[in-house]
Amino acid sequence: MICDIITQPAPVAVSIAGKMHPINWDFRAGIEFDAIRDSDMPEEWKFEKMLKLYYGDLNDLGNILEAVERLKWFYRCGEPDEEENEDKKAKRYVRKTSKEPAYSLSQDTAYIYAAFLDQYGIDLATVRDLHWWKFMALFESLNEDTKMSKIMYYRKASVSGMDRERRAFINEMKKLYRIRRGKSEKMTLEQRNERWKKYVRERLSGK
């Protein structure tokens, strides 16, 4: 659920150390964030790139730890910090789901582009001033007959209880549309949060 973006303006700045700091609110930053997070680069490099992506000059932030928390809040579109937040959103497609993620914004760009153009008439390659929160509201509301929604269904669907022919088809679709993960260490949200904190401590100590 995206926070209210009808009666309240979508944020273009966040409060850090008592001061409002501009944040990169364009939807492309969210897609790039997704790509960085799932890349093979070391975690500390990821954190540095993520922070610079959203804030630019890190020396102006004042409180790095608070900046990290506000960044995560912004990326989640104001939602609570919950484990596997993307998977929770994806459960609306099927009751029984696999543990695989439903989508990768960075890898599914072609399907997302086609779905937005078909359903909303929005050309994501040329659109300007599309806020990340608005992009996600539109993304989560894609019709079930778009190819992107069908792909998300295939990825999340459990084949338990299906007849042999249907199970074979779904498994083939899972293989065809599997998300290609890098070789980087797979972490839970809690583990990643601890890495964030470690990065902040080391940065503040000058290591």
Segment 20-35 mean pLDDT: 96
Is the model's pLDDT at 11 over the cut of 50?
Answer: yes
By residue count, the chain amounts to 207
Q: How far apart are CA 167 and CA 158, in angstroms?
A: 9
CB 72 within 8 A of CB 81: yes
pLDDT (0 to 100) of residue 5: 86
CA torsion, ordered 7, 13, 15, 17, to nearest 10 deg:
-170
Task: Choose between 2 and 163: higher pLDDT.
Answer: 163
What 3 state SS string does the chain have? CCCCCCCCCCCCEEEECCEEEECCCEHHHHHHHHHHHCCCCCHHHHHHHHHHHHHCCHHHCCCHHHHHHHHHHHHCCCCCCCCCHHHHHHCCCCCCECCCCCCCCCCCHHHHHHHHHHHHCCCCCCCCCCEHHHHHHHHHCCCCCCHHHHHHHHHHECCCCCCHHHHHHHHHHHHHCCCCCCCCCCCCHHHHHHHHHHHHHHHHHCC
Q: How far apart are CA 77 and CA 10, in angstroms?
A: 9
The region of weakest confidence among 72-76, 94-98, 162-166 is 94-98
Q: 104: number of CA atoms within 13 Å, CB side?
A: 16
At 174, is the pLDDT very low, low, confident or very high (cuts 50, 70, 90)? very high
pLDDT (tens digit, 9 = 90+) per residue, 109-168? 999 999 999 999 999 999 999 999 999 999 999 999 999 999 999 999 999 999 999 999
Is the model's pLDDT at 13 over the cut of 90?
Answer: yes
Q: How far apart are CA 149 and CA 171, in angstroms?
A: 17
Is the model's pLDDT at 107 over the cut of 60?
Answer: yes
